[in-house]
């Protein structure tokens, strides 16, 4: 039954792809695309740096112009975390037994390093509009800190409920800020705060706020994936 | 100063080459982990010197993040190796 | 007091990364305050009034010795790498340490790894298990002098 | 200042080269760990100080301090983790003349 269902899904997807590629109306003909007529030029235009207010052009595109896409990306990550949680069980009570004790230096040194890692990750998240980096790498570093503690301490169990609450709150706030843009300005996720001087910490309007939320959401999602992999059900 | 940059880069590049050879031929998994650890440290050096060549301190952020991830990588591989017990 | 030192350490790291401006100090204080509440239960440093003196000892006595030993270690490595004919008889020896605090043991083990010819593998109870390239000296005391001698006394002054 | 910085950087590069050579030429895993860790720690130290001297500004030096502290703490920890893993794995080198850890038994 499962295999049949999978086959139907697979074939349906194939049909959809063929239909989409066969569509001659919405796709320009091969070789006839006018590359000078793309939005990329407008994004990279120097005037737009002052329009968005972000010193980092990648951040300006990812959050400023393509905020809606980013919301989708974060949702993809959320769904994959949910998939991992489904694949394993929900009733996680016991820490997975790693059989081998971590050595002393790793166990005690990782606590020192964890502090540095968290500060670095928060620095990267909050400076996403000024330096390379931003929400996604910062969130990944938070999660790697959690992974380090899991590997370094065989008794450690992170507060996974806190992570879930954090993830939910961050996701909801992202959407709420988008809706505020719809109300206060004209469209979803539009910037409604003055963008300030380029290069200052408090600049670029809603970009830093959204990037902080993305960072917290990504970090807590990946941390919950790590937790799911390293815990198991209480064997009855 | 360009010639000095080239000297530094070539020294580090030779180091990277040697560790890469060990990474490929290393008879055991543990040798590969050691080679990878050394490799990552040299790459941190390369990033820092690149930051100096490009005169941009933003590259140092990348070096910090790389150092963090390199350490984590070493720990993860080492813990995996422990599972391969005799 | 415990909260305060954690807070100061985190804020220092943040400000070193971000630079000293008014905005950064405010943001860094918020970030460090949140992290302090989350992290204090994992970090347990014993901090008392002698702390500045200890820090001074650490910087002025420990670090120069450490760097000197590190340079010696590298010349040792260079000698071994460039002439692999030097006979090696490696072994794992245990070294007793008198340090009680975890941080002290950690620093001692890390220092041993970075000194000539030794590599600390694990710390169990009050023994540090060290891999040495060349097992010297048959009785225990002599070995300990060779391996952990220079650091043990300094770190006792710092951490105990 | 620039000259001194470049001297440090070249010394650091030499130590990195030495680390790579050590990892390649040493006979067994523990010796490779030793050579790799020591040489790369001092090499990174030296290169970072050199870059700090070439670009003698506060924003550079602050970040360099963070990297040095992180490397000095993390590098020995990482190598001792590999060493312990190697010791208990099936690839343990068999040329040890003395082995105190074995007397202690498993874990």
Split at pLDDT 50, 70, 90, the class of C43 is low
Residues C34 and C66 in one domain: no
Query: In this complex, do A112 and D76 lie within 8 Å of one another by their Cβ atoms?
Result: no
Query: In this complex, do D30 and C131 lie within 8 Å of one another by their Cβ atoms?
Result: yes
Q: Helix, strand, coil % (nearest 5) of chain D?
A: 80, 5, 20
| pLDDT value for A26 | 63
Residues C20 and C59 in one domain: no
State the Cα angle at C17 between C13 and C23, rounded to 5°: 95
Number of structural domains in chain C: 2
Least confident range from A8-12, A47-51, A171-175, D1-5: namely: A47-51
Report yes or no on D79 lying in a domain.
Answer: yes
List all chains that touch chain B, counting a touch as 3 or more CB pairs closer than 8 Å. A, D
The whole-angstrom distance between residue C56's C-alpha and the CA centroid of its chain comes to 15
List all chains that touch chain C, counting a touch as 3 or more CB pairs closer than 8 Å. A, D
D62 touches chain C (CB under 8 A): yes
- Residue D19: CB atoms within 10 A of its CB come to 32
Domain boundaries, chain A: 49-232
Domain region containing C73: 51-159
Which parts of chain A are beta strand (E)?
A: 94-95, 231-232
Query: In this complex, do B58 and A98 lie within 8 Å of one another by their Cβ atoms?
Result: no
Report yes or no on D100 lying in a domain.
Answer: no
Q: Which residue has the higher pLDDT, C60 or A202?
A: C60
The C-alpha of D85 sits at a distance from chain A's nearest C-alpha, in angstroms, of 9
The dihedral of CA D79, B9, D27, C132: what is its sign? negative
Residues C35 and C56 in one domain: no
| pLDDT value for A90 | 63
Residues in chain C whose beta carbon is closer than 8 A to a beta carbon of chain D?
13, 15-17, 19, 70-71, 73-74, 77-78, 80-81, 84, 88-94, 109-110, 113-114, 117-122, 124, 129, 131, 133, 135
Q: What is the SS3 assignment for B34?
A: helix
- Over residues D17-55, the pLDDT tens digits come to 888 888 888 777 888 888 888 888 888 888 888 888 888
C33 touches chain A (CB under 8 A): no
Residue C138 has pLDDT above 60, yes or no: no
- Over residues D53-95, the pLDDT tens digits come to 888 888 888 888 888 888 888 888 888 888 888 887 777 777 7
DSSP annotation of C94 reads: E
Query: In this complex, do C89 and D97 lie within 8 Å of one another by their Cβ atoms?
Result: yes
Q: How far is CA D30 from CA A4, B33, D26, in A?
A: 54, 12, 9
Cα–Cα dist C59/C45, whole Å: 18
The C-alpha of A107 sits at a distance from chain D's nearest C-alpha, in angstroms, of 9
Average pLDDT, integer, range B24-49: 86
Q: Helix, strand, coil % (nearest 5) of chain A?
A: 65, 0, 30
A103 touches chain C (CB under 8 A): yes
Residues C142 and C102 in one domain: yes
Number of structural domains in chain D: 1
Query: In this complex, do A119 and C39 lie within 8 Å of one another by their Cβ atoms?
Result: no
The C-alpha of D91 sits at a distance from chain B's nearest C-alpha, in angstroms, of 7
Nearest to C42 by CA among A189, A152, A174: A152
Using CB atoms, which residue from C13, C35, C102 is nearest to A108?
A: C102
Query: In this complex, do A104 and C124 lie within 8 Å of one another by their Cβ atoms?
Result: yes
Q: Which residue has the higher pLDDT, D10 or A42?
A: D10
Whole-number average pLDDT of chain C: 76
Query: In this complex, do B61 and A141 lie within 8 Å of one another by their Cβ atoms?
Result: no
| pLDDT value for A82 | 84
Query: In this complex, do C122 and A115 lie within 8 Å of one another by their Cβ atoms?
Result: no
Residue B19 has pLDDT above 80, yes or no: yes
* Predicted ipTM of the assembly: 0.85
- Over residues C96-123, the pLDDT tens digits come to 777 777 777 888 888 888 887 788 888 8
Residue C60 has pLDDT above 80, yes or no: no
Which chain C residues have a beta carbon less than 8 Å from that of D62?
Answer: 15-17, 19
Report yes or no on C69 lying in a domain.
Answer: yes
Query: In this complex, do B69 and A98 lie within 8 Å of one another by their Cβ atoms?
Result: no
């Amino acid at each position: 039954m499962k295999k049949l269902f999978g086959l139907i899904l697979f074939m349906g997807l194939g049909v959809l792809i063929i239909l989409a590629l066969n569509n001659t109306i919405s796709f320009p003909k091969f070789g006839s695309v006018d590359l000078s007529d793309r939005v990329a030029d407008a994004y990279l235009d120097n005037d737009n740096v002052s329009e968005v207010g972000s010193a980092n052009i990648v951040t300006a595109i990812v959050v400023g112009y393509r905020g809606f896409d980013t919301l989708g990306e974060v949702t993809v990550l959320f769904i994959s975390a949910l998939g991992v949680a489904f694949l394993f069980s929900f009733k996680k009570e016991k820490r997975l037994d790693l059989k081998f004790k971590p050595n002393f230096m790793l166990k005690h040194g990782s606590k020192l390093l964890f502090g540095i890692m968290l500060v670095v990750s928060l620095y990267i998240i909050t400076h996403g509009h000024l330096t390379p980096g931003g929400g996604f790498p910062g969130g990944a570093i938070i999660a790697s800190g959690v992974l380090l503690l899991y590997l370094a301490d065989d008794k450690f169990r992170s507060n996974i409920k806190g992570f879930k609450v954090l993830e939910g709150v961050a996701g909801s706030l992202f959407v709420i800020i988008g809706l505020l843009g719809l109300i206060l300005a004209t469209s979803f996720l539009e910037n409604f705060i003055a963008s300030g001087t380029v290069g200052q910490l408090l600049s670029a309007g809603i970009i830093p706020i959204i990037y902080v939320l993305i960072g917290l959401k990504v970090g807590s999602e990946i941390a919950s994936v790590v937790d799911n992999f390293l815990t198991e059900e209480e064997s009855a | 100063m360009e010639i000095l940059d080239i000297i530094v880069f070539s020294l580090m590049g030779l180091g990277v080459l040697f560790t890469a050879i060990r990474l490929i031929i290393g008879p055991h998994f543990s040798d590969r982990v050691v080679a990878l650890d050394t490799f990552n440290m040299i790459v941190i050096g390369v990033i820092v010197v690149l930051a100096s060549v490009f005169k941009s301190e933003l590259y140092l952020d990348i070096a910090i993040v790389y150092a963090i991830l390199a350490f984590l990588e070493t720990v993860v591989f080492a813990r995996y190796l422990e599972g391969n017990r005799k | 007091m415990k909260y305060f030192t954690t807070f100061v350490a985190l804020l220092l790291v943040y400000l070193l990364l971000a630079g000293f401006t008014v905005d950064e100090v405010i943001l860094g204080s918020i970030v460090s305050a949140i992290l302090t509440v989350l992290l204090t239960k994992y970090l347990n440093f014993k901090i008392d009034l002698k702390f500045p003196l200890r820090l001074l000892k650490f910087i002025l006595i420990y670090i120069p010795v450490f760097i000197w030993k590190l340079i010696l270690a590298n010349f040792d490595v260079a000698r071994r790498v460039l002439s692999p004919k030097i006979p090696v008889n490696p072994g794992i020896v245990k070294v007793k340490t008198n340090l009680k605090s975890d941080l002290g043991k950690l620093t001692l083990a890390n220092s041993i790894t970075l000194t000539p010819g030794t590599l600390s593998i694990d710390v169990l109870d009050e023994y540090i298990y060290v891999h040495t390239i060349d097992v010297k000296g048959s009785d225990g005391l002599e070995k300990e002098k060779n391996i952990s001698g220079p650091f043990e006394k300094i770190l006792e002054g710092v951490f105990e | 200042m620039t000259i001194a910085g470049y001297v440090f950087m070249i010394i650091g590069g030499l130590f990195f080269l030495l680390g790579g050579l050590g990892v390649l030429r040493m006979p067994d895993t523990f010796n490779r760990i030793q050579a790799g860790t020591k040489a790369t720690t001092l090499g990174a130290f030296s290169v970072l100080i050199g870059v700090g001297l070439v670009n003698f500004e506060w924003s550079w030096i602050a970040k360099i301090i963070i990297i040095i502290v992180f490397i000095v703490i993390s590098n020995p920890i990482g190598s001792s983790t590999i060493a312990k893993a190697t010791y208990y794995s099936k690839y343990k080198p068999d040329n040890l003349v003395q082995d105190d850890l074995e007397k202690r038994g498993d874990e």
